[in-house]
Structure formats: C-alpha cells, structure tokens
C-alpha cells in the first residue's frame, strides 16, 4: 500500500464520519488548549511578578508590623501587630551603617477636592526617599522636599489621572487642593507609571508622612522601605534592623522583614502549584480524549470489517491494516492539537492586548501539548487497530448473521 493510498483512505474515513471526527477534534483541541492557555497564564503571572519586584530593587527590604511565624509562605501584607512601627523606628534604622535610604509609609483613603470637583483618592504619606526607592519620576515640578520625617508640610505630588480629574485642562502646579480637612499645594506631577505592587500611581496623592499621620489621626506606619548600600549588605543589615527594632520594642521581635527574594520564593511556590494544576487539567483532558478515540476506533473497526477483509484478501498485511486505523487516530490528533494550539495562542494574544501582561506559552508547553495528544491517540487506538489487524480475511468478509 502506497503512502498516498493510505492517506486517501484516512481522509475518506474521516469525511465519511464527519460528526464523529468533529467530536474527536474538539476533545483533543480542548486538551491542548488547556495546556497552552494555562501554562501561558502561569508564565505571564511569573513575568509580571518578576518585573514588579525588579522595580522594587534587590537592595530593598520591607519592614511590616507583626511577626510572621511561618516559613516559606506568603509574607503578611497588612501586618496586624500588637505594636506599631513609628517614624522614630524608621529614623533609628536610617542611622545604621549599611542603610542608604529609609522611607516610612502611611496610607489611607480620603476625599480630595478642587472647587466643585471631588473624588476619593489613595493618599500616601512618605518622604523624599520614597521616590528614589520606588523609582518614581516627576514629570512636572519636584518631588517632596527633604524634610525631617516628623515635620509636616502642606505640599503634595499627584498622579496624572488625579490631576486631570481635579484640575481638568488648567495647570495644577502651585494650585491648592483639599484632602479631608486639610489643604495641600501641588508641587509636582508624577510621570506615567501605572500600577505597581497594588498601587495605581496615576491616581495617587503623595504628602509628607507627618502630614498623613495628622490627616488620618494615626501614628503607626503601614510599612517601612529600607534600601541598603548593596546586595552584599542585605544579610548584615537584616540582622542589624531586627536587633535595633527588638531593642526599641522592649525585647520583642514583633516585625516581619522581607526582601525581593523572599517574595519571589513565595510567588514561585504559588506558581509551582499552578503548574501542577495545569498538568493535571491537561492530563485529564487528553485522557478523556484518548478514551474517546479508543471507543470510536472500536466502533470503526466493527463497522468496517468488510473493508478490512477486502484489504487483506487483496494482499494487505496486518501491519498495513493496523496503520490504517492508527493513521486515522494520529491525523485527528494532529489536526485537533494544532487547532487547540492556535486557539490557545489566540486567547493569550487577547490577554496580552487587554491586560498588557506577557502571557506567552513556553516552547516546552507547545511541544508537550502536541506530543501528548499524539501519544494518547497512538496509545488508545493501538488495541482496536491490533484487533483489526488480527482479523482473518474469510471471517471479516462473512456477512453478519450469515451461514456458519
């Protein structure tokens, strides 16, 4: 049997059972789609996390109030604690030998208004060092002045979207706005940045930390950013910071100190779990498709016994008959897998365009999706195909219910 003859028989069998072929294509396509789509989402989440923490910097430590006793898990974000972090704690940390910059952080929501325009805004109280640590650029004006952390001042820096909503087309620099029950003069407008670590900088209002404490009537800090002089000083700085705060907090180690690496470890654990889930979903989907292929191939063999007998009567070998049914299953698996691959890549492209996140399926996911689909087709179609190959021509050509 020539290759072209075998291909003609495969295509003819698939066209003759269109609904059955479409069902198999759909099952295989869904399995491969699961592999491509979910691994692409996982890789997109991973690249997003890496890019977010790259902006934070490898030399940066974050101090949160409250002690996290677990190891390797996600560090606390809000940090409920019996003792607050204070501006004085931040100043003590800033005096350590290997610390370069310290930025205390106070955050809250308040109504912000200019004339008859008003909206709720996220207000961040910090210092000038916050701009350097978070790599914030000011498009117009200047950042917060270099004040003592305990000194309040009626100045602010605002995000671009907040500026448009409050001031419209008129200039904002030098103008006054009201936040809560206090007034602040706009001295700077942030450059476009987008969201980072849960903050949308386009809608942010940044004021001195002492002004934020007075505005919210709250002394405790949400967290403290600490930038050390280099990666080599991270370990010793961590020890010195914990020792300093322990001495200031009556001998209690009641803070959590996290770094970019510890956050990445926590997120890697989450992404590893996601990868396992992806593998499980893909395996189940393709397993179901394989069982469906086996059932359909059994039916095909039982319906085509006369064709099998005729092929064997004119000289077709057992291997060629087996190849006839295996080839149909592999052809269906290949077309279905390619369709699932294209659908998955299309869905990831839509995700990239809509969310501006790098959703890309890794090369190994594409290859493994195709290979797994072909393997399942070959594995589950082998037994029915072998049964067809083992049929004797006389038995295969005997009419159903004919004379014995």
Unique residue bearing structure tokens 């049929």 = 391
What confidence category does residue 310 fall into, taking pLDDT thresholds of 50, 70 and 90?
A: low
pLDDT tens-place string over residues 128-160 = 999 998 888 999 999 999 998 889 999 999 999
CB 104 within 8 A of CB 292: no
Is 61 part of a structural domain of the chain? no
- Are 11 and 113 members of one domain? no
Is 383 part of a structural domain of the chain? yes
pLDDT tens-place string over residues 43-74 = 787 777 767 666 666 788 999 988 764 344 44
Neighbours of 86 (CB within 10 A): 20
What confidence category does residue 35 fall into, taking pLDDT thresholds of 50, 70 and 90?
A: confident
What confidence category does residue 192 fall into, taking pLDDT thresholds of 50, 70 and 90?
A: confident
- Are 244 and 284 members of one domain? no
Among 158, 175, 377, 182, smallest CA distance to 289 is for: 377
Phi and psi for 68 in degrees, rounded to 5?
-95, 110
The residue segments making up the domain with residue 202 are: 83-253
Q: What is the dihedral of CA 143, 148, 149, 151, to 10 degrees?
A: -90
Beta-bridge partner residues of 85? 221
- Are 376 and 324 members of one domain? yes
- Are 244 and 279 members of one domain? no
Neighbours of 274 (CB within 10 A): 17
Beta-bridge partner residues of 206? 124, 157
Average pLDDT score over the chain: 80
- Are 218 and 306 members of one domain? no
């Amino acid at each position: 049997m020539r290759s072209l003859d075998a291909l003609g028989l495969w295509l003819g069998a698939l066209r003759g059972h269109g609904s059955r072929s479409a069902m198999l294509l759909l099952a295989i396509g869904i399995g491969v789609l699961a592999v491509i789509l979910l691994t692409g989402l996982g890789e997109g989440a991973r690249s997003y996390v890496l890019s977010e923490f790259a902006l934070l910097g490898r030399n940066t430590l974050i101090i949160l109030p409250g002690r996290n006793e677990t190891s390797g898990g996600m560090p606390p974000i809000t940090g409920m604690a019996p003792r607050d972090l204070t501006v004085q704690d931040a100043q003590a940390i800033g005096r350590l030998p290997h610390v370069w910059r310290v930025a205390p952080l106070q955050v809250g929501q308040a109504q912000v208004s200019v004339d008859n325009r008003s909206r709720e805004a996220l207000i961040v109280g910090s210092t000038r060092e916050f701009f350097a640590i978070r790599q914030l650029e000011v498009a117009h004006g200047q950042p917060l002045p270099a004040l003592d952390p305990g000194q309040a001042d009626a100045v602010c820096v605002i995000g671009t979207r907040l500026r448009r909503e409050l001031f419209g087309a008129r200039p904002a620099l030098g103008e006054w706005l009201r936040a809560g029950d206090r007034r602040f003069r706009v001295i700077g407008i942030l450059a476009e940045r987008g969201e980072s670590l849960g903050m949308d900088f386009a809608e942010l209002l940044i004021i001195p930390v002492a002004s934020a404490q007075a505005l919210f009537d709250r002394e405790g800090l949400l967290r403290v950013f600490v930038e050390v002089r280099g990666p080599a000083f991270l370990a010793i700085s961590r020890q010195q910071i914990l020792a300093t705060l322990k001495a200031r907090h009556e001998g209690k180690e009641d803070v959590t100190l996290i770094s970019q690496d510890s956050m990445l470890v926590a997120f890697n654990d989450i992404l590893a779990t996601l990868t396992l889930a992806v593998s499980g979903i893909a395996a189940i989907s393709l397993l179901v498709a394989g069982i469906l292929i086996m059932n359909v191939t059994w039916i095909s063999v039982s319906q085509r016994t006369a064709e099998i007998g005729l092929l064997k009567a004119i000289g077709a070998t057992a291997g060629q008959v087996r190849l006839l049914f295996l080839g149909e299953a592999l052809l269906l698996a290949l077309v279905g897998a390619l369709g699932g691959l294209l659908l998955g890549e299309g869905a990831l492209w839509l995700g990239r365009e809509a969310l501006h996140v790098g959703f890309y399926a890794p090369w190994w996911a594409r290859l493994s999706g195709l290979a797994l689909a072909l393997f399942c087709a070959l594995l589950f179609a082998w037994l029915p195909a072998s049964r067809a190959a083992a049929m004797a021509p006389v038995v295969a050509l005997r009419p159903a219910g004919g004379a014995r």
